Amino acid sequence: MQEIWTAVDGWLTETVVRPGTEWIAAEADSAAAGLPPIQVTAAQGKLLHLLARLAGARRVLEIGTLGGYSTLWLASALPQDGRVITLERDPHHAEVARKNLARAGLAARVEVRVGPALALLPQLVEEGAGPFDLVFIDADKSEYPGYLRWSLALARPGTLLVGDNVVRSGAVLEGESSDPRVVGARAFHELVGAEPRLSATVIQTVGSKGYDGLTVALVLGDGVR
């Protein structure tokens, strides 16, 4: 099935999603710089963009920048004075991302912070950087449970949490798995489902990146139900 998923994804990207030239250049330059080609697809990135616009987001937190491809989709959804803070452990990835964002004229709207996310997140809480209107979780899969907890600490009622790669070709069903990414994804789903502050769903996806899924969760409370 992968062949047809890729072909349909390509056609829908050209026909409907229509990424700008800076988006296409960002993918090319990320590949040329040796980054792994694991960014969201254009169709998924456009979904992030539309969710951010629907949420009226002004402040976005992203965990896992890579070359800034998803960051382009998120930052371009914000008003001029909006801000994305994106966290990236690898300084080379962060450098590539800064260039990709600058080319698209979005550098002023994005702060790329370099370090392990689990060290940067408590700093954001300490600084009072929240609450964020949308959080996109997309770094190392084994740490998703921790990222969820910190995201909740940086959220408000009405914040949208989005998690990438939560189905993993169906591996998420493997309760006996010793793969830390699967263990992390399973624990993430269990935490999301048991969290009274969240109303959530998971969209299974197919496309050029195979079979995976996205969690979409709304933070409840204070009149948001």
Enumerate binding residues for ligand DHB (CB under 6 A): 38, 64, 138, 164-165
Q: What is the side-by-side strand order in the sheet with 134-137?
A: 110-114, 83-88, 59-63, 134-137, 160-164, 210-219, 198-207
Tell me which residue of 106, 113, 96 sits closest to 52, measured CA to CA.
106
Which one of 34-42, 154-162, 174-182, 212-220 is the stretch in contact with ligand SAH (CB under 6 A)?
A: 34-42
Q: Which does 206 bind (CB under 5 to 8 A by kind): ligand SAH, Mg ion, ligand DHB, none?
A: none
Give the shortest CB-127-to-ligand DHB separation in angstroms: 26
Residue 138 near Mg ion by CB under 5 A: yes
Which tokens sit at 155? 């959220």
Pairing of strands 83-88, 198-207: unpaired
SS3 219: strand
Q: Please, which residue, 204 or 224, has the CB nearer to ligand SAH?
A: 204
Pairing of strands 198-207, 210-219: antiparallel
Q: Which of residues 151-190 bind Mg ion (CB under 5 A)?
A: 164-165
Q: Which does 195 bind (CB under 5 to 8 A by kind): ligand DHB, Mg ion, ligand SAH, none?
A: none
Q: Which of residues 50-79 bind ligand SAH (CB under 6 A)?
A: 64-66, 69-70
- Count Cβ atoms within 10 A of the Cβ of residue 112 and give its class: 0-12 exposed, 13-18 middle, 19 or more buried: buried
* One character per residue 128-147, x = contact with ligand SAH (rule: CB under 6 A): ----------xxx--x----
Q: Closest residue (Cβ) to ligand DHB?
A: 38
| The one among 12, 33, 38, 216 contacting ligand SAH by CB under 6 A | 38
Torsion of Cα atoms, 32 then 38 then 42 then 48, to 10°: -130
Cβ(202)–Cβ(4) below 8 Å: no
Interface with ligand SAH (CB under 6 A): 38-40, 64-66, 69-70, 87-90, 93, 116-117, 138-140, 143
